[in-house]
A and B are shown apart, each in its own frame.
Chain A
Amino acid sequence: MPKTIAEKILSEKSGGEAKKGQIVICNVSWAIAQDGTGPLSIHRLREAGINKVFDPERVIFFIDHAAPSPKKELSNAHQQIRSFARETGAQVSDFNRGVCHQRMVEDFVNPGDLLIGADSHTCTSGALGAFSTGMGSTDVAIGMALGKVWLRVPSTIKIEVSGTFPPGVYAKDLILYIIGQLTADGATYKALEFCGPTISAMSMSDRFTLCNMSVEAGAKTGLIATDEITREYLVKQGRGDRFREIVADPDAEYEQVLSIKANELQPMVAFPHTVDNVRTVTQAAGTKIDQVFIGTCTNGRMQDLQIVAQILEGKQIAQGVRLIVTPASRAIYLEALRGGIIEKLINAGAAVTSPGCGPCVGIHQGVLGDGEACLSTQNRNFLGRMGNPEGFIYLSSPATAAYSALKGEIADPREILTKK
Chain B
Amino acid sequence: MILEGNAKKFGDNISTDLIAPGRLFHLRNNLPELAKHVLEDAEPNFYEKIQKGDFIVAGRNFGLGSSREHAPAIIKIAGIGAILAQSVARIFFRNAINVGLPVFECDTTQIDAQDHLRVDVLKGTVENLSKGISLPFNPLPKIMVDILNDGGLVAHIQKHGGFKL
- What residues of chain A have their CB less than 8 Å away from a CB belonging to chain B? 23, 25, 36-37, 39-40, 44, 47-48, 65-66, 71-74, 76-77, 80, 117-120, 122, 134-139, 141-142, 145-146, 148, 150, 152, 184-185, 188-189, 218, 220, 274, 361-363, 367, 380, 382-385, 387-389
Contacts of A389 in B (CB 8 A): 21, 41
| A36-B28, A73-B27, A383-B41 known; A363-B22 Cβ under 8 A | yes
Q: Looking at the complex, which one of A120, A139, A363 makes contact with B65 (CB distance below 8 Å)? A: A120
Q: Does B15 contact A (CB under 8 A)?
A: yes
Chain A residue, CB-CB nearest to B61:
A185
Cα–Cα distance between A80 and B29 once the two chains are bound (Å): 10
Q: Is the CB of B94 within 8 A of A139?
A: yes
Q: Does B113 contact A (CB under 8 A)?
A: no
Q: Is the CB of B17 within 8 A of A25?
A: no
- What residues of chain B have their CB less than 8 Å away from a CB belonging to chain A? 13, 15, 17-18, 21-23, 25-30, 41, 60-61, 64-70, 72-73, 87, 89-91, 94-95, 98-99, 141-143, 152-154, 157-158, 162-163, 165
Q: Is the CB of B61 within 8 A of A139?
A: no
Contacts of B98 in A (CB 8 A): 136, 138-139
Chain B min CB distance to A394 (Å)? 16
Cα–Cα distance between A406 and B89 once the two chains are bound (Å): 38
Q: Is the CB of B67 within 8 A of A138?
A: no
Contacts of A146 in B (CB 8 A): 157, 162
Q: Looking at the complex, which one of A47, A184, A361, A362 makes contact with B64 (CB distance below 8 Å)? A: A184
Could you list 15 examples of A-B contacts with CB < 8 Å? Answer: A23-B141, A36-B68, A40-B69, A66-B26, A74-B25, A117-B67, A138-B95, A142-B154, A148-B162, A152-B141, A184-B64, A218-B64, A362-B22, A384-B17, A389-B41
Q: Looking at the complex, which one of B61, B142, B154 makes contact with A188 (CB distance below 8 Å)? A: B61
Q: Looking at the complex, which one of B99, B142, B158 makes contact with A48 (CB distance below 8 Å)? A: B158
Closest 5 CB pairs between A and B? Answer: A136-B69, A362-B22, A136-B95, A73-B26, A185-B61
Q: Is the CB of A380 within 8 A of B65?
A: yes
Q: Looking at the complex, which one of A25, A73, A137, A188 makes contact with B165 (CB distance below 8 Å)? A: A25
Q: Is the CB of B64 within 8 A of A185?
A: yes
Contacts of B70 in A (CB 8 A): 40
Contacts of B94 in A (CB 8 A): 135-136, 139
Contacts of B21 in A (CB 8 A): 362, 384, 387, 389
Chain B min CB distance to A146 (Å)? 6
Q: Looking at the complex, which one of B13, B41, B99 makes contact with A384 (CB distance below 8 Å)? A: B41
Cα–Cα distance between A40 and B72 once the two chains are bound (Å): 13
| A36-B68, A138-B95, A274-B13 known; A361-B143 Cβ under 8 A | no
Chain A min CB distance to B74 (Å)? 11
Q: Is the CB of B165 within 8 A of A37?
A: no
| A23-B165, A135-B94, A389-B41 known; A184-B26 Cβ under 8 A | no
| A25-B163, A40-B28, A184-B61 known; A363-B23 Cβ under 8 A | yes
Q: Is the CB of B154 within 8 A of A136?
A: no
Which of A47, A71, A220, A389 has the most CB atoms of chain B within a 10 A radius of its CB?
A: A389
Contacts of A184 in B (CB 8 A): 13, 61, 64
Chain A residue, CB-CB nearest to B31:
A40
Q: Is the CB of A363 within 8 A of B68?
A: no
